[in-house]
């Protein structure tokens, strides 16, 4: 009744003046990145639905799905080929995965597959092209391998809430399998002139931030080597703002650097290796990884985009058995520790709890920024 009476004012409501909403002064986005989707056969077999024959990978990621799908853009390294049944499913040393993985990762909330790594050519030229077709059919982006010279010539630039993000992906090796001489576009192999050419194209197109995703380093080494550091120096000096590393299958430390470009002081960030996100590597250091969340702000007045916050979230691959069948799931380490202590997760055992605490210590800020003193710039 009160609402109806209020609507019977002597002065028409159309004469009431309201101030327009203020124009936004900045926009903010969150970009999430994780490490390797290292698709060993036990992982693939664990998600096969015996009734439908489909592979339901998304269940593995349910505990951390919110962290991925709530980001504005989410990135992962595809450490397998995704060429489907025609090429035969296989794990180490020559990987190939069911095409279902693409749609399942789209369901989880991923947006981009990095495809340049040491397993890019595991199934030859056909495997590269079939993989890209399956990724595109699922509505996902990809970068690092290409089906033609024309596709390679078009850099990946995403406009996310008005912030233009350029992304490149290169690998240092292809496991001794040469890129075909008549198809040099197939895989981005680290080559500094080629990187400079792509970066120049991205800069000419007008971007606010550049992310370089590099497959490099020594497997199972917990610290970057000289070549990694020199390549990161080159990338930063060439205009890259963020470097995301993979390949080691363990987490390597991060650095935050303050650099000056065009008389403007900027924060730049590198994580030398994000470790494994999912794999069957059950040994210490390789059963864990990092999910990172980068908060970027763009000032609409000056046009300057800054890296405001970095969150580093340790993850761990848990295995458990149901009706004699092994299953996998990815847990956020600190939350899983709380869940065990509060008896909120019946699948966690006392041994799991001890390993989770160990991972939390292994991936502490003291380790993650052991190459850099800028601890106050990072948040877990």
Q: What does the pLDDT average to over 336-354?
A: 98
Q: What does the pLDDT average to over 172-184?
A: 97
Alpha carbons 52 and 50: distance in angstroms, whole number: 6
- Dihedral, 372, 374, 376, 379 alpha carbons, nearest 10: -50
Which DSSP state fits 180? P
pLDDT band at 90, cuts 50/70/90? very high
Distances (CA, A) of 148 to 132, 183, 285: 11, 8, 38
pLDDT digits (tens, 9 = 90+) for 102-141: 999 999 999 999 999 999 999 999 999 999 999 999 999 9
In terms of residues, how long is the chain? 380
Do 158 and 189 form a contact (C-beta atoms < 8 A)? no
How would you classify residue 247: left for phi > 0, otherwise alpha for psi between -120 and 50, otherwise beta? Answer: left
How would you classify residue 85: left for phi > 0, otherwise alpha for psi between -120 and 50, otherwise beta? Answer: alpha
> Kindly report the CA angle at 266 between 74 and 113, in degrees rounded to 5?
20
Measuring CA to CA, which residue among 269, 231, 268 is closest to residue 247?
A: 231
Do 275 and 288 form a contact (C-beta atoms < 8 A)? yes
213 has a pLDDT exceeding 50: yes
SS3 71: coil
pLDDT digits (tens, 9 = 90+) for 15-37: 555 666 666 789 999 999 999 99
Domains of the chain: 26-370 (3.60.21.10)
Do 96 and 147 form a contact (C-beta atoms < 8 A)? no
- Number of helical (H) and strand (E) elements in the chain, helices listed first: 11, 14
Measuring CA to CA, which residue among 119, 126, 49, 57 is closest to residue 91?
A: 119
SS3 220: coil
Please give the pLDDT value at position 19.
Answer: 62
pLDDT digits (tens, 9 = 90+) for 6-19: 333 334 444 555 66
> Kindly report the CA angle at 170 between 167 and 174, in degrees rounded to 5?
155
């Amino acid at each position: 009744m009160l609402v109806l009476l209020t609507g019977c004012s002597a002065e028409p409501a159309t004469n009431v003046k309201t101030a327009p909403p203020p124009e936004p002064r900045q926009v903010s986005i969150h970009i999430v990145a994780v490490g390797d989707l290292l698709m060993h056969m036990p992982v693939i077999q664990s998600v096969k639905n015996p009734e439908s024959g489909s592979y339901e990978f998304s269940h593995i990621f349910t505990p951390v799905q919110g962290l991925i799908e709530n980001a504005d853009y989410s990135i992962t390294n595809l450490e397998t080929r995704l060429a489907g049944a025609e090429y035969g499913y296989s794990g180490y040393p020559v990987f190939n995965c069911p095409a279902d993985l693409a749609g399942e990762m789209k369901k989880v909330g991923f947006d981009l597959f990095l495809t340049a790594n040491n397993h890019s050519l595991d199934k030859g030229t056909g495997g590269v092209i079939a993989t890209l077709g399956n990724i595109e059919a699922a509505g996902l982006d990809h970068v690092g391998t290409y089906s033609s010279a024309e596709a390679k010539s078009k850099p990946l630039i995403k406009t996310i809430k008005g912030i233009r993000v350029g992304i490149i992906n290169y690998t240092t090796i292809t496991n001794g399998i040469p890129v075909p001489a008549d198809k040099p576009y197939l895989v981005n192999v680290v080559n500094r002139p080629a990187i400079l050419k792509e970066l120049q194209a991205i800069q000419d197109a007008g971007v606010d931030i550049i992310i370089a995703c590099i497959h490099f380093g020594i497997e199972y080494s917990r610290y970057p080597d000289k070549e990694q550091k020199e390549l990161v120096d080159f990338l930063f000096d060439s205009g890259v703002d963020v470097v995301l590393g993979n390949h080691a299958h363990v987490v390597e430390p991060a650095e935050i650097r303050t650099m000056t470009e065009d008389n403007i002081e900027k924060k730049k960030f590198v994580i030398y290796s994000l470790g494994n996100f999912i794999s069957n590597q059950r040994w210490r250091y390789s059963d864990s990884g990092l999910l990172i969340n980068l908060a970027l702000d763009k000032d609409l007045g000056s046009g300057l985009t800054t890296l405001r916050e970095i969150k580093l979230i340790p993850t761990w691959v848990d295995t458990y058995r149901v009706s004699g069948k092994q299953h996998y799931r990815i847990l956020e380490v600190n939350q899983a520790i709380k869940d065990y202590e509060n008896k909120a997760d019946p699948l966690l055992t006392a041994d799991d709890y001890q390993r989770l605490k160990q991972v939390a210590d292994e991936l502490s800020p003291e380790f993650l920024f052991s190459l850099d003193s800028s601890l106050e710039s990072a948040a877990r």
